Chain A
């Protein structure tokens, strides 16, 4: 079990209102990702769920029981920190055993769980080393191991991959997703990286300034963003947002078209522009198009084999059925 419910939760630090009243339900077994730009309150929200931050007002219930004033250790949640927060002077084995030792669990049960966790996380050979002798990815695994052995009702991850290099990050991303499939435990994951959010989540919660902008599955967010913020935040490269006359033609204040939904031609098309920088990724090429008279720059994503030069004239053909329309208030128009 691991259903977490936030009711009218708020948080203020001094005079600064970090989180205005917020309601959210996280269902049992769900992999929920909180995503948003830095300073949007996503980590604060996670720490409030963990019990490391007090709520200013509102309540949190875990599995239907009010946990607003329950101390962190009694909530049955385990947290993985950004800095891993391993205990540097203890061996890996002792690090993993620490929560069980604090709970005064029998020795043989402790050992059984440590062995199981170490095997699942490929740490068996490192149990007697100290955290300082491990690589970043291994430390992260130890931190996850320390969380797993508690058999919590939910895991909380606070940007766990941001201290790893790019290649390791992709690997750990898969491992965590795999672990979720295996354990089927509720997981709440905080990140500022929309790629992590898209690839891992069952449910994404997009936050801005403490306000939930949209909740939905990755594809829901991608296909029907409810407002301009979500539209530009989800997707890489970013969606092109066009205002003014062109948008008015489509009956909206702003129209958005994703780079991958725009075709190009050297001879004819709806919009004309000049090629700026093109970024070749091999499989794809991102072309930045200037002087279209629509926006400062429009990014298009095309097949990697197309050759264009800086300064060429280019024509763009957006797929009109994939156009997103937003009203003057930034909300989606269907």
Chain B
């Protein structure tokens, strides 16, 4: 039991961290909110005063808004599906006893340590380049016309790059979950005459549900804000503009801080809607 004294001591000692964290989060948030109600053009006259909801209306009525929202959701959804499906399969594979297990596991985790900017540039120049890329050579080897990945299939390309980056994370978490499955349960299922597919469906997948939930939650948070991958590959062109990227363009390319801030507030709202949905679906899983 904490005494009165130790509790107040604890409060005092936590205070610096709490104040710092609050400052870190609240100051930018409040500034964003403030700018979103202002007409603020740094290179064209600076702060031009309050404008009410003008910025909000302009941001939504722009022809780029809805495509950006749908691109964001498509990328997030596709990356989640790819990383979880492949992650489960890879986790099951890596759980099998095999020669060189330790090395293989480290190799699988490696992509996660590569910075997004670097890995996107590597993909762009080494794999997806239409003349010198590895894919172009592969296509030509089979007699097909090389695909100009980033212009002809920009969203799938970005999905591929981002999935490659996040697959190790999903695999890692799912692997630990697979390893925590009681081997006696699998043996019991074996005695009960369950074929491999039933064992997967009735035992392994339900056991993994909690880990999958965590992967979905954490990845969604990070995927909603992917930026570097788009910046260094397509630069937002060819329909690959996400909400985050649109905000960036409004603030830095059009030099319209007010409009961009309004977009930022929309992004917060979108993230919260997604989070509420996820928590609803997923919260039950975490309770059990």
Chain A: minimal CB distance from B192 (Å): 4
- Smallest Cβ-Cβ distance to A52: which chain B residue: B187
Contact of A81 among B187, B194, B203, B209 (CB under 8 A): B187
Residue B184, interface by CB 8 Å? yes
Chain A: minimal CB distance from B184 (Å): 4
CA distance A121 to B31 in the complex (A): 67
Chain A: minimal CB distance from B191 (Å): 5
B198 touching A102 by the CB < 8 A rule? yes
- Quick one: given A72-B191, A73-B193, are A98 and B184 in contact (CB under 8 Å)? no
A102 touching B187 by the CB < 8 A rule? no
- Quick one: given A85-B182, A98-B202, A102-B198, are A79 and B193 in contact (CB under 8 Å)? no
A77 touching B184 by the CB < 8 A rule? no
Q: Which of B179-196 contact A (CB under 8 A)?
A: 182, 184-185, 187-195
B198 touching A83 by the CB < 8 A rule? no
Chain B positions within 8 Å of A81 at CB level: 184, 187-188
CA distance A78 to B193 in the complex (A): 10
CA distance A112 to B182 in the complex (A): 30
- Quick one: given A85-B185, A87-B185, are A79 and B191 in contact (CB under 8 Å)? yes
- Smallest Cβ-Cβ distance to A81: which chain B residue: B184
CA distance A88 to B181 in the complex (A): 11
- Smallest Cβ-Cβ distance to A150: which chain B residue: B192
B198 touching A52 by the CB < 8 A rule? no
Contact of A82 among B184, B202, B209 (CB under 8 A): B184
Chain A positions within 8 Å of B182 at CB level: 83, 85
B187 touching A87 by the CB < 8 A rule? no
A52 touching B191 by the CB < 8 A rule? yes
Chain A positions within 8 Å of B288 at CB level: 89
Chain B: minimal CB distance from A326 (Å): 40
Contact of A103 among B184, B193, B202, B203 (CB under 8 A): B193
- Quick one: given A83-B184, A85-B182, are A146 and B192 in contact (CB under 8 Å)? yes
CA distance A150 to B194 in the complex (A): 13
CA distance A289 to B206 in the complex (A): 59
Question: CB-defined interface of B2-31 with A at 8 Å, one 1/0 digit per residue?
Answer: 000000000000000000000000000000
- Most chain A beta carbons < 10 A, residue from B188, B195, B288: B188
CA distance A205 to B110 in the complex (A): 53
Chain B: minimal CB distance from A144 (Å): 12
CA distance A18 to B217 in the complex (A): 47
Question: CB-defined interface of A69-98 with B at 8 Å, one 1/0 digit per residue?
Answer: 001111001110111011111100000001
A72 touching B184 by the CB < 8 A rule? no
Chain B: minimal CB distance from A70 (Å): 12
A85 touching B194 by the CB < 8 A rule? no
Main secondary structure of the interface of A (DSSP, over half): loop
Chain A positions within 8 Å of B191 at CB level: 50-52, 72-73, 77-79, 99
Chain B positions within 8 Å of A99 at CB level: 191-193
Chain B interface size, under 10 / 10 to 19 / 20 to 34 / 35 or more? 10 to 19
User: How many interface residues does A have (CB within 8 Å)?
Assistant: 25
CA distance A90 to B190 in the complex (A): 17
Chain B positions within 8 Å of A98 at CB level: 189, 192, 194, 202
- Most chain B beta carbons < 10 A, residue from A71, A72, A74, A78: A72
B184 touching A87 by the CB < 8 A rule? no
Chain A: minimal CB distance from B183 (Å): 9
A85 touching B193 by the CB < 8 A rule? no
Chain B positions within 8 Å of A85 at CB level: 182, 184-185, 187-188
Chain B positions within 8 Å of A52 at CB level: 187, 190-191
- Quick one: given A85-B182, A89-B206, A98-B202, are A79 and B188 in contact (CB under 8 Å)? yes
- Smallest Cβ-Cβ distance to B186: which chain A residue: A85
Chain B: minimal CB distance from A11 (Å): 17
CA distance A136 to B206 in the complex (A): 22
CA distance A267 to B274 in the complex (A): 89
Chain B: minimal CB distance from A157 (Å): 13
- Smallest Cβ-Cβ distance to A77: which chain B residue: B191
CA distance A89 to B185 in the complex (A): 12
- Smallest Cβ-Cβ distance to B203: which chain A residue: A87
Question: CB-defined interface of A1-38 with B at 8 Å, one 1/0 digit per residue?
Answer: 00000000000000000000000000000000000000
CA distance A64 to B19 in the complex (A): 78
Chain A positions within 8 Å of B195 at CB level: 102
- Smallest Cβ-Cβ distance to A75: which chain B residue: B191
CA distance A46 to B188 in the complex (A): 14
Chain A: minimal CB distance from B190 (Å): 5
CA distance A83 to B207 in the complex (A): 17
Chain A positions within 8 Å of B189 at CB level: 87, 98
Chain A positions within 8 Å of B184 at CB level: 81-83, 85
Chain B positions within 8 Å of A88 at CB level: 207
Q: Which of A93-142 contact B (CB under 8 A)?
A: 98-99, 102-103
**A81-B187, A102-B194 given; 9 more Cβ-contact pairs under 8 Å:** A52-B190, A73-B192, A82-B184, A83-B184, A87-B188, A89-B209, A98-B194, A146-B188, A146-B192
Chain A residues with CB under 8 Å of chain B are 50-52, 71-74, 77-79, 81-83, 85-90, 98-99, 102-103, 146, 150
Sampled A-B contacts (19; CB under 8 Å)? A52-B187, A72-B190, A72-B191, A73-B192, A73-B194, A77-B191, A81-B187, A83-B182, A85-B187, A85-B188, A86-B188, A87-B202, A88-B207, A89-B207, A98-B192, A102-B194, A103-B193, A146-B188, A146-B192
Chain B residues with CB under 8 Å of chain A are 182, 184-185, 187-195, 198, 202-203, 206-207, 209, 288
